[in-house]
């Protein structure tokens, strides 16, 4: 898996060790599955002649399961590293700059977790200043909730500033209008390929039997809507207007070199959440950029709960999985101020505005702002695995 006849630069994040899957189109053609390799995309439908890659989403292929995933991966590695395949493969490579990317999966259910201890402590301190920063359940289970699957959209989808109700503590009654505290949440998402039966749990050790891969998630959030609505049943309109995902799904198989031990869990969790045998900590380095300027670098390796624990928890009550289920980590924040994955943390609830390179300041997002999340992880032999990016530009509210 070292060299490739593609003569990729040594620092490419899209070498034969990555091979992320996505859905692309070119002008006048239908969306179909592609594989990112260097600065190109392999038209997988054309290269394989398999219609399962021509459906416009990854779902049908994901449902075929880990053996099929592994077999295709082995074939792709051979194609890209053995020059004897060049003549067959090269005609199906397109410049990535020339294609339009689409939502890679038809999202079945979307679940968002809350698994960064630093993020949960920061938010707890701001939203519930009179209580302990972590709720009593936080270290016993990966807290999560269902989000709106229908508003999960691909990177680049405009972020229309949401309207809604908000009420400052000092006000008597709520008012209606555009959100004044529009925020991001820098997250990592996990894509379920193989479903499960109603009434059965998926143990921690079966994570890779169900989850195909990883994408980046920006769970756009309206903090003023959220603060007024979320007691007692959780976030609703403060989150449901848009969740953006990166177009490329990086296979778990590409992340073997990125696996690390998760933080020590204290207290020891209940047996169904123990992951000593096969932990799924992942050394993914995120970067948050606003209008081109790096604001923070959240470290995923510090997440308290791993995606394998999240999946085990999600299903321990017998809830079934479906192909296309997406679950996200929750905002990734580290202990340092420059490792925070949301503006509410970066500006400490709006009380400590950020000063940007151009001299302007920010507490939350302004119309016209563009946020880009990127990430990478260690690959084999010193290489890097790139997750690409998830972007969005804020547009003004459509009513007020």
Residue carrying structure tokens 């690959």: 379
Catalytic residue among 92, 119, 210, 313: 119
Alpha-carbon distance values, 175 to 74, 165, 180 (Å)? 57, 6, 12
- Rounded Cα distance between 55 and 26, Å, is 15
- Find the binder of a second copy among 147, 193, 262, 307 (CB under 8 A): 147
Give 158 or 292: the residue with its C-beta nearer to a second copy: 158
Give 77 or 141: the residue with its C-beta nearer to a second copy: 141
Alpha helices per DSSP H over the chain: 44-48, 59-62, 66-81, 86-89, 117-127, 207-210, 223-229, 237-240, 307-315, 343-346
- Find the binder of a second copy among 117, 240, 296, 391 (CB under 8 A): 240
Within residues 14-73, the interface with a second copy by CB under 8 A covers none
Q: Give the pairing of strands 152-154 and 243-245.
A: parallel
The region, left, alpha or beta by phi > 0 then psi within -120 to 50, assigned to residue 368 is left
- Measuring CA to CA, which residue among 254, 244, 268, 257 is closest to residue 187? 244
Give 79 or 364: the residue with its C-beta nearer to a second copy: 364
Minimum CB distance to a second copy, residue 316 (Å): 6
- Find the binder of a second copy among 105, 153, 204, 290 (CB under 8 A): 153
- Find the binder of a second copy among 149, 208, 257, 356 (CB under 8 A): 149
- Find the binder of a second copy among 236, 274, 283, 366 (CB under 8 A): 236
Minimum CB distance to a second copy, residue 357 (Å): 31
- Rounded Cα distance between 80 and 47, Å, is 12
The sign of the dihedral angle between the CA atoms of 203, 206, 212, 213 is positive
> Which residue stretch of 13-21, 72-80, 141-149, 351-359 sits at the interface with a second copy (rule: CB under 8 A)?
141-149
Give 166 or 384: the residue with its C-beta nearer to a second copy: 166
Q: Which helix (H) or strand (E) holds 16?
A: none
Minimum CB distance to a second copy, residue 321 (Å): 7
Residue carrying structure tokens 């403060």: 238
21 given a catalytic annotation: no
- Find the binder of a second copy among 187, 219, 229, 275 (CB under 8 A): 229
Cβ contacts of 180 within 8 Å, gap of 6 or more: 166, 224, 364
Number of residues forming the site for a second copy (CB under 8 A): 70
Q: Which helix (H) or strand (E) holds 62?
A: helix 59-62
What character string, x for contact with a second copy (CB under 8 A) and - otherwise, covers 168-207?
Answer: -----xxxx---------------------xxxx------
Residue carrying structure tokens 């296309």: 324
Give 92 or 313: the residue with its C-beta nearer to a second copy: 313
Q: Please say whether the beta carbons of 44 and 22 come within 8 A.
A: no
Give 159 or 371: the residue with its C-beta nearer to a second copy: 159
Contact flag: residue 141 with a second copy (CB under 8 A): yes
145, HSE (Cβ side, Cα atoms, 13 Å)? 12
DSSP SS3 for 292 = coil
- Find the binder of a second copy among 66, 86, 230, 257 (CB under 8 A): 230
Q: Please say whether the beta carbons of 395 and 158 come within 8 A.
A: yes
Give 85 or 167: the residue with its C-beta nearer to a second copy: 167
- Measuring CA to CA, which residue among 105, 29, 27, 97 is closest to residue 61? 105
Minimum CB distance to a second copy, residue 114 (Å): 6
Minimum CB distance to a second copy, residue 279 (Å): 20
Q: Give the pairing of strands 182-183 and 293-296.
A: unpaired
Minimum CB distance to a second copy, residue 136 (Å): 8
Give 96 or 102: the residue with its C-beta nearer to a second copy: 102
Contact flag: residue 274 with a second copy (CB under 8 A): no
Token pair for residue 355? Answer: 């000063």
Beta-strand runs (E) in 203-360: 211-218, 221-222, 243-245, 250-251, 259-260, 281-282, 285-290, 293-296, 326-328, 354-355
Contact flag: residue 146 with a second copy (CB under 8 A): yes
Residues with active-site annotation: 119
Residues forming the site for a second copy (CB under 8 A):
108-109, 111, 114, 124, 127-128, 135-137, 140-141, 143-151, 153, 157-158, 160, 162-165, 167, 173-176, 198-201, 222, 225, 228-238, 240-242, 267, 270-272, 313-314, 316-322, 325, 398-399
């Amino acid at each position: 898996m070292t060299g490739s006849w593609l003569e990729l630069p040594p620092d490419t994040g899209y070498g034969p060790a990555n091979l992320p899957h996505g859905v692309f189109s070119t002008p006048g053609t239908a969306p179909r599955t592609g594989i990112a390799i260097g600065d190109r995309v392999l038209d997988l439908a054309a290269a394989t002649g398999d219609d399962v890659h021509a459906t416009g989403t990854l779902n049908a292929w994901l449902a075929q399961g880990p053996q099929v995933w592994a077999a295709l991966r082995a074939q792709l590695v051979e194609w890209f590293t053995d020059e004897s395949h060049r003549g067959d493969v090269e005609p199906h490579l397109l410049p990535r700059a020339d294609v339009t990317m689409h939502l890679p999966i038809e999202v079945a259910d979307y679940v968002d977790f809350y698994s960064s201890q630093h993020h949960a402590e920061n938010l707890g301190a701001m939203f519930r200043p009179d209580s302990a920063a972590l709720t009593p359940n936080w270290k016993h289970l990966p807290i999560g909730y269902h989000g709106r699957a229908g508003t999960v959209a691909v990177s680049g989808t405009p972020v229309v500033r949401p309207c809604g109700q908000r009420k400052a503590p000092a006000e008597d009654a709520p008012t209606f209008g555009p959100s004044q505290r529009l925020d991001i949440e820098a997250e990592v998402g996990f894509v379920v390929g193989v479903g499960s039966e109603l009434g059965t749990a998926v143990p921690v050790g079966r994570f890779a039997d169900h989850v195909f891969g990883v994408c980046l998630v920006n769970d756009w959030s309206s903090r003023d809507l959220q603060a007024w609505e979320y007691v007692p049943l959780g976030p609703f309109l403060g989150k449901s207007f848009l969740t953006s995902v990166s177009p490329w799904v990086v296979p778990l198989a590409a992340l073997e070199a990125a696996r690390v031990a998760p933080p020590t869990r204290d207290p020891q969790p209940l047996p169904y959440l123990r992951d000593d045998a096969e932990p799924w900590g992942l050394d993914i380095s995120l970067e948050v950029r606003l209008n081109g300027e790096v604001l923070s670098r959240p470290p995923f390796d510090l997440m308290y709960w791993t995606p394998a624990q999240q999946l085990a928890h999600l299903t321990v009550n017998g809830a079934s999985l479906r192909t296309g289920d997406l679950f996200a980590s929750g905002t990734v924040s580290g202990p340092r101020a420059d490792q925070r994955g949301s503006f509410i943390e970066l500006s400490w609830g709006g009380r400590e505005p950020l000063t940007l390179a151009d001299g302007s300041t920010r507490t939350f997002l302004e119309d016209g702002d563009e946020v880009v999340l990127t990430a990478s992880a260690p690959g084999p032999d010193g290489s890097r695995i790139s997750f690409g990016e998830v972007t969005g530009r804020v547009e003004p509210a459509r009513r007020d």
